[in-house]
Chain A
Amino acid sequence: MRFAPMLRSIDVLLLLGLIVVVAWTFKVKYDSQNALDRVAELERQIAAEKVEIDLLKSDWSLLTNPARLQELAERYADELNLQDLEASQLANEQELPNFRLEKIQPPSETREAENQADKSIETGSIPASVSQEEQ
C-alpha cells in the first residue's frame, strides 16, 4: 500500500474537479435552456407582430385602393372643389415663368423678431405672472 496516500490525494482532487465540472455543466445547460426559451418566446412575439403588420398592410392597401379613392373623390368633389387635371396644367420647372424670389429671413432672426413683436403687443389677457400665482 505504498501508493495509497498519493492515490487518495488524486482521488480527492479528481472528485473536486468532477463536482466543479458537473456544477458548471449544469449551469451552462440551465442557462442555455433559459436562453432557448427566451429565443422561442421572442420568435413567437415576432411572428405575432408580423401577422399584425401583415394585417395592417392589407388594411392599408384596401383603404388605398384607387377604386375606393376615386369614389371618395367623386363624392366630395363639390365640397372640396376638386377638378380633373388637364394636360395644360402640367409643366416642369424650366417651363415656368421666371419668379423673383423674395429674401426669406433665417429662422433665428424671425423668432427673435416674433418675440419682440409679442412683447410689444398689448392684449386684454391676464399677464403670465398673475396666472402662475393663481395656480
Chain B
Amino acid sequence: MTQFLQKRSETSRIKFEGSGKQTISQARARMGTAMVLVSLAYVIIVGRLVVLGFAGEETLTRLAINDISISATRPDIRDRNGETLATDIVTSSLYAEPKRIVDADEAVEKLVTVLPDLDVKAVYKRLTSKAGFVWLKRELTPATENKILALGLPGIGFRTETRRFYPKGETASHIVGHVNIDNVGIAGLEKYIDDRSLKELRSLGLASDKEMKPVYLSIDLRVQHFVRDELAKAMQRYNAIAAGAVMLEVNTGEVVAMASLPDYDPNYPVDALKKDRLNRVSAGLFEMGSTFKTFTTAMALDSGQVSMKSRFDATKPLRIAGHTINDFHAKKRVLSVPEVFIYSSNIGTAKMADVVGTKGHREFLHRIGLLSKVAFELPEVAKPVEPDKWRKINSVTISYGHGAQTTPLQTAVAGAALMNGGKLIAPTLFPRSEAQAKQSAQQVISSSTSKQMRNLMRLNVEKGSGRRAEVPGFRVGGKTGTAEKVVNGRYSSEKRFNAFLAAFPIDDPKYVVLVFIDEPKPEKGLKSATAGLNAAPVVGNIIRRAAPVLGVRPDFDYKVGPLLVSN
C-alpha cells in the first residue's frame, strides 16, 4: 500500500501510468471515504440509542407528557390546621346528540336506573327533539359517570369541567371570597391569590407546569365557626341589622377568625353583591364609640402627664363650642383614671385628651394606625375618615369615639398593640411567626403603659360595664362601646352601634377579640340595648368556646380589682 501511495505521489507530477489505472485508484479512495462516513453515521445512531436506553424514566415521561396543556386549576385554600376551605373539583356533565340516539325509550329507561331523580318526560322530549346537542344532567360524580358509560348507550357523552367548591359554605365566606364563572377570583383571598400569582406568572414569562401548592391561612376554622355561630345567634336575639367580629393573635398579628353577618354562600355567590353583604370588619366604617376611650386613656398614660392616680372632675357637664358633653352613667364627682375607664365617663376622657392636646391626639391616633388605611391582604379595605382640620371640639368628641370613622379590624389591631406590650403589628391572613412579626413591628406605646391598660381592661370586666363578658378561668379584659349612629345628620338615641374590645388571658394576652352589633334592639324583658348587655355577652360566649380549643389554660384566682381600686 505504502509503496503504491509513494509511487502515486511520485507519479502525480510525472504522468507515466495510463488513465485506466488512475481511475481505479481514485474510485478506491472515494469508496474508502464513503465507507468511513457511513460507518460513522451508524456509530452515531447506535450511540444515541444507547444514550436513550440509559436515560432516566423522568426524561421519558417528560417526553411523553410534554404536550399536555395546563388545565385552569386554582390552589386549594386551607386553614391553619389543614382544613379545606376552597378546592377544585372535577365534575362531568351528561349530554346527548339526539340524532345519534337509536332508541329514546330504551335510553331513558336505562338512564333512570342510574339517575333515579331524572325528569323522565323532559328527558324523553329532549332526546326525540331535532336539536344537535342537548344537556341532560350537569355536575355528576366520576362514579355515576362510570355507571352511565357501562350502560353502553349510543349518542350520549360527557364533558368534564373544573368547578370551585367551598365545603364550609358561609363559615369563612368573606375571608375566602369567591370566583366568577370563569374560575377567576373576584373577591376575598381568591382575588388576592389571582392578583399575586398573575404577577408571578408575568415575571416568569409563562405559566409553570408545577402542581399548585395549597395556600394555608392563619384562620382557625373551629374558632371561625364559633365566632360566626355566636354572631348569628346575637343577630337573632337582638334583632340587629348586622354583626361582626375579628379575633387576632396579639403577638403575630395573625387573624384567627373574622366574620361579618349577613354573609353569603360562596358556592352560590349571587347574594354577594347585595349592599348589606359587605365585609363590615375590614370594609365597614363606623364611629367606634366608647371603645375609643381605651386609646385615649392609653395615650394620656403614655404621655407621662397622666398617671393612674390622676383625678378628673366629672361633677358638671363639659361645655365646649356650644356643645354640652354629658356622661351616660353620670357619677357627678371627681373620678380617678380607673374610675373614668370603668364608668366610661365622657367628661373624664375628654379632659384626659385635653391634657395631651389636639395635635398630640391626632398624631397618636395616626401612630397607632387607627386613622390611616390598614395594610391587609383582602381587597375589601376601607380608608378611615377624620376631620380635615382638627379643632378642640373634634379632639373632645373623638376622645370618646365620635367624629372619626374607622374599621373594626383596625380597632382590633390597635387594641392588640395596647395589649402586647405596645407593638403595632399589621394584621395578616397568612401564618406568621412571632420573630417575623417583630421585624416589622413598631413600638407605639411603652410596655409599662401596656401593662396599665391590661389592668384597666381587666378591672372593667371585674367591676365595670364589661361584667357580662367574664368567663370564669379565662381572665377576660375589655371595654364596651355604645355609639349613637348618625341619622339624617343628627345623632340618634334609637339607632346604635355597639362594640366590645376584649383581650384574654389578660395577665399575658394571647388574643384580642372585637365584636360589634349594628342597630341592636333591646332583648325581651329589657329596656335598653347597650354594648354591655349585648356585645359583651357575645364576646364571653366566643371566648368560652374558643379558649379551650386555642389551648389557653384556665386560672381561677387572677384578680386585679384589689390592686387598683381601694373603695
Q: How far is the CB of B511 from chain A (nearest CB, A)?
A: 15
Interface size class of A (residues with CB under 8 A): 20 to 34
Quick one: closest B residue to A70, CB to CB? Answer: B229
Q: Write out the residue numbers on chain A whose beta carbons fall within 8 Å of the beta carbon of B83.
A: 61, 64
Q: Write out the residue numbers on chain B whose beta carbons fall within 8 Å of the beta carbon of A57.
A: 84, 87
* A58 to B139 alpha-carbon distance, docked (Å): 14
Q: How far is the CB of B28 from chain A (nearest CB, A)?
A: 7
Q: Write out the residue numbers on chain A whose beta carbons fall within 8 Å of the beta carbon of B471.
A: 87
Q: Are A88 and B88 in contact (CB under 8 A)?
A: no
| A25 CB contact (under 8 Å) in B45, B222, B553 | B45
Q: Are B142 and A51 in contact (CB under 8 A)?
A: yes
A114 in the interface, Cβ–Cβ < 8 Å?
no
* A32 to B64 alpha-carbon distance, docked (Å): 11
* A37 to B501 alpha-carbon distance, docked (Å): 64
Q: How far is the CB of A80 from chain B (nearest CB, A)?
A: 19
Q: Are A87 and B165 in contact (CB under 8 A)?
A: no
Mostly, the A contact residues are helix
Q: Are A51 and B60 in contact (CB under 8 A)?
A: no
A21-B45, A70-B229, A88-B472 known; A54-B53 Cβ under 8 A:
no
B167 in the interface, Cβ–Cβ < 8 Å?
yes
| Residues 60 to 96 of chain A near chain B (Cβ within 8 Å) | 61-62, 64-67, 70, 85, 87-88, 90, 92
Mostly, the B contact residues are helix
Q: Write out the residue numbers on chain B whose beta carbons fall within 8 Å of the beta carbon of A3.
A: 28
A35 in the interface, Cβ–Cβ < 8 Å?
yes
Q: Are A87 and B554 in contact (CB under 8 A)?
A: yes
Q: Are A67 and B60 in contact (CB under 8 A)?
A: no
Q: Are A88 and B473 in contact (CB under 8 A)?
A: yes
| B474 CB contact (under 8 Å) in A40, A54, A58, A87 | A87
Q: Are A66 and B472 in contact (CB under 8 A)?
A: no
A39-B61, A58-B84, A66-B221 known; A87-B90 Cβ under 8 A:
no
B169 in the interface, Cβ–Cβ < 8 Å?
yes
A51-B142, A52-B142 known; A90-B45 Cβ under 8 A:
no
A48 in the interface, Cβ–Cβ < 8 Å?
yes
Q: Write out the residue numbers on chain B whose beta carbons fall within 8 Å of the beta carbon of A48.
A: 142
Given contacts A48-B142, A67-B168, 8 further A-B contacts (CB under 8 A): A28-B53, A36-B63, A54-B88, A55-B89, A58-B167, A61-B168, A64-B83, A87-B544
Interface residues, chain A, with chain B CB atoms under 8 Å away? 3, 10, 17, 21, 24-25, 28, 32, 35-36, 39-40, 43, 48, 51-52, 54-55, 57-58, 61-62, 64-67, 70, 85, 87-88, 90, 92
Q: 10 closest Cβ contacts across the A-B interface? A: A87-B473, A66-B225, A61-B167, A61-B84, A87-B554, A62-B167, A51-B90, A36-B64, A39-B64, A65-B168
Query: Can you give 18 A-B contacts (C-beta < 8 A)?
Result: A10-B35, A21-B45, A21-B46, A28-B49, A35-B60, A36-B64, A43-B65, A54-B89, A55-B141, A58-B84, A58-B165, A61-B83, A66-B171, A67-B171, A67-B225, A87-B547, A90-B548, A90-B553
